[in-house]
Every structure is written in C-alpha cells, then in structure tokens.
Amino acid sequence: MRVGYVRCSTLEQNEARQLVMMEEQKAEKLFVDKTSGKNTERQEFKAMMAFVRSGDIVIVESISRIARNTRDLLSIIEELTNKGVEFVSLKENIDTTTPTGRFMLTVFGALAELERENILERQREGIAIAKAEGKYKGRKPVAVDEEQFKAVCKRWRNGEITAVSAMKEVGLKPNTFYRRVKELEL
C-alpha cells in the first residue's frame, strides 16, 4: 500500500500542496499532522507507524515533514526498514531501497537538522538585538495581588489547601506560581 504522511507545523499552515503531491503519487492512505516536527510525539505519525506493514511504501513531501533531526530520522527509517516498509521522499528524491538512497537520506537528515538549528540561532540573535535596542522585553508579568498571593501561599504551606487549589485562587499556571513563590521566598 502507498501510504502518504503530511505534516504542517501549525494549525494556520495549509497542507493543500502536500495533499496534491500525495494524490499525484496515488497514496491510498493518508495521515495528516498539524504539529511541530521537532519530536516524534505526533498522533497521526504514531498511527501511521502502527499502520504500515511489510511491502508498504511511506511517501513524504520532504524529509523535514517526517523528522527535524538526524537521530529521529534514522530511527524512523530503521523502524520502517525492520518492518519491510520502503521510504520515499519526493523533494530529495530519496528511495531507501538503494544504498545510495540510504546514504543520501543520512546527508539530507543532517542538513534538515542544521537548518532547524540555524533558524533557532537566528531567532535568539534577533531577540538579543531587540533587547539591546529596548524593543523586546519579553512577556508582560501576570498581575497578581501580592497580599492575596502571600495569604494563599501561607495556607498552601500550612497544608490547608493543595498547590493546585492555590494556583486556581491566584489565577496562575504552575511555572508562574512556583517562580513567584521562589522570587518572594515564600
């Protein structure tokens, strides 16, 4: 069976181009994720991996659709190979049934990982420049009544309420709640 895997990083992105490619490749079954590819914790990806059987071919638009780092990519390909499943990436023209295809897969996987790292580095540099120019100050702190916060923390520390209840009372999420507790040394 020809199995297509399509992934867009966000809900706002459109997968239509990839779907057209899958139709042109005569994919008989499609799995579509709208989530980041930075790891393999994707619902449709997992479903596809569980679905494929020996003799199937997994088709993707590009290797960046299935994995964003070399380790994940090679692990995925190894799992597919162990199941007797072929892998085809249209953009890079890779077919894992050949030694050259397996070699090229490794090279392109490393390039995809480098590209992601470069994107993150440029993002960090941009934020540093914006901070230096006074244009970026991060998220605005969540406004909390300090006296109420201290009173709720005291009840929490005394075991009168749970941490979850304390967070609900002051309207904070766990990370922010615990950071505030630490800042105020409560």
What the block records as the tokens of 94 is: 């890779």
Stated as kind and residue range, the H or E segment containing 57 is strand 57-60
Give the pLDDT confidence of 48-100 residue by residue, as tens digits: 999 999 999 999 999 889 887 777 888 898 899 899 999 999 988 888 878 88
Q: Which band of pLDDT confidence, cut at 50, 70 and 90, is reported for residue 12? A: low
Mean per-residue pLDDT of the chain: 88
d(CA 152, CA 161): 8
Domains of the chain plus CATH, in order, are 2-118 (3.40.50.1390), 146-183 (no CATH)
User: How much helix, strand and coil, in percent to the nearest 5, is found in the chain?
Assistant: 55, 10, 35
User: Which among 52, 9, 12 has a CA at the least distance from the CA of 28?
Assistant: 52
64 given a catalytic annotation: no
- Evaluate if pTM is beyond 0.85: no
Give the pLDDT confidence of 15-48 residue by residue, as tens digits: 889 999 999 999 999 999 988 877 788 999 999 9
